[in-house]
Homo-oligomer: A and B are copies of this chain.
Amino acid sequence: MKKLKNYAKAFLPTTISMATQPPESLKTDWLTLPTSDQVFHPSNLNPHLVKMEYAVRGLLVQTAEKLEAQLRRGELDDAPFDKIVYCNIGNPQALDDIALTFIRQVLALVTYPGLIDAVRGGQISEELFPSDTVARAEDILASVPGGVGAYSHSMGIPYVRQKVAQFIEERDGYPSDPEAIFITDGASPGISTVIQSLIRGPNDGILLPVPQYPLYSATVAACGGTQVDYYLDEANGWSLDVAELDRAVTEAKANGVGPRALAVINPGNPTGQVMSANNIADVIQFCADHHLIVLADEVYQENVYDPDNKPFVSFKKALMDSAPGVRDRVELFSFHSVSKGMLGECGLRGGYMEAHNIHHDGMAQLYKNVSVSLCSNTIGQLTVGLMVDPPQLGDPSYHLYTKQYRKQYKSLKRRALALTDALNSMEGVSCKPASGAMYAFPQITLPAAVAAAASDLYMSPDTYYCLELLKGTGVCVVPGSGFGQVDGTYHFRTTFLPPEHELAKVGETVAKWHAEFMDKHRGS
């Protein structure tokens, strides 16, 4: 009984309550909270920030963390699970996916250059550090004044920006200018900096897909701008229809909002679709016609699981393929990251942004803005440099790198298929195949009783579903409402990152719980 009480208590404090009064933390508008005479209190803070929401690390995750702490303390022995499975965020290494050895070898050498001398002096075997890792580390240290311990140029280490430009040139077959590359702490800071620059007030709009990765909605809200929704077409595999963009722009303008930029996530997050070259060309033409900057979030460009039929095409390439008048006019920012792909180096925080067709005075502004935080972390920067310039055929590290890379790729692809199949086998669940990225975003059709139960708790039905799922299985996913969805439809986002030997079990557990949940709420 004591244990049961403890288990129930896990859901009571601050983050979620089963009481009949709406728990404070569930109110979406913090401004209705009681005021306080403390200065740093929501009632006295920047309302844009206070209103901002960020679901990927929101209520579900905070509840999961609380449960995990209780599990560790042995307070939840009666719970129907013995660990939390975090499917809320694309964080592969937290779920046992391994780092690529080459990357880590080079990083260790540049972090502690004494190792280089030891390898060169024969005190450490080449098995631990193949000769190309040492050569690469020496190359880096010769090119980076002060090594990893010094602030770099605010736009990023020139050596890395040069490598990124070469990578883009080889990928797209078009020139890329190192002076137009910013190296960033993951992709997020580049995206925020550009959006922050674009928003002058509430009449400035940014077109965001629905559903979207909530960094976008959070940043637009924090800057006091207006989010202009365009809906992806779930029935057509979450495709992007230019007619829908047109509707969104027309409606925004009728409401006095001027759209300034269009954010596109390709491959999609949370939806996993991969856009065709023709579709991208149409979107670019639309942006030319409506004078919109393109923000192309391409962090999943290596996570493409049907490359023959649905290859990744960059917005930069599609733009360069366009007619004059479009090619030389549409302003484009593209983003990439070391956190996804096969590296999955989330913790190292490395990414880049390429600016194209941006006025030099606009570039000067960006440079100034990023200067205020001095530079992004050098280890993350160097990881970007390694990602875009991996070992080549003939290099001692090539074989292992390629083997690890392919193994990870195949495993992700298998997991994507297995998860989609498992979800589609569940009653009331419909999941489009994920051609890319790391997520499934299934739609769930829930019995009417679920909406009623959720409403009693001041929650949306999908939030209620996800919390019950967490309580019943330990699996943490994020409700669709955190990403946006058509009114009256319900979804959740789950990564397909649990290790393969666990994924089947996770699928079974969820399926069993889901069947019971549906039965319980059917009104039987």
Contacts and interface: CB of A to CB of B under 8 A. Distances in A.
A49 interface: yes
Contacts of A56: 371
A168 interface: no
A377 B111 CA distance: 15
A472 interface: no
Contacts of A460: none
Given A38-B359, A40-B293, A151-B346, A369 B49 contact: yes
A45 B369 CA distance: 12
Contacts of A375: 347, 349
A410 B115 CA distance: 28
Interface in A190-229: 192, 194, 196-200, 215, 218-219, 222-223
Interface in A86-121: 89, 91-95, 99, 101, 104-105, 107-109, 111-112, 114-115, 118
Nearest to A292: B39
Given A101-B114, A128-B123, A362-B40, A188 B147 contact: no
Interface string A158-177: 00000000000000000000
A344 interface: yes
Interface string A333-373: 00000010000111111000001011111101100110111
A390 interface: no
A104 B93 contact: no
A46 interface: yes
Contacts of A47: 200
Interface in A31-68: 33, 36-42, 45-47, 49-50, 52-54, 56-58, 65
Contacts of A40: 194, 197-198, 293, 331, 355, 358-359, 362
A112 B118 contact: no
Interface in A264-283: none
B261 A94 contact: no
Nearest to A124: B124
Contact of A118 (B128, B194, B292, B345): B128
A148 interface: yes
Given A149-B93, A149-B344, A371 B57 contact: yes
A196 B49 contact: yes
B347 A149 contact: yes
Contact of A123 (B93, B105, B125, B357): B125
Number of copies of this chain that the complex holds? 2
A146 B53 CA distance: 27
Contacts of A293: 39-40
Given A108-B115, A128-B115, A348 B379 contact: yes
A194 B118 CA distance: 45
A442 interface: no
A199 B115 contact: no
A153 interface: yes
A347 B147 contact: yes
B359 A36 contact: yes
Contacts of A101: 112, 114
Contacts of A199: 46
Interface string A238-275: 00000000000000000000001100000000000000
Interface pairs A-B: 4 shortest CB-CB: A347-B378, A93-B149, A94-B146, A108-B112
Interface of A: 14, 24-25, 30, 33, 36-42, 45-47, 49-50, 52-54, 56-58, 65, 89, 91-95, 99, 101, 104-105, 107-109, 111-112, 114-115, 118, 123-125, 128, 145-154, 185-186, 188-189, 192, 194, 196-200, 215, 218-219, 222-223, 260-261, 291-293, 331, 339, 344-349, 355, 357-362, 364-365, 368-369, 371-380
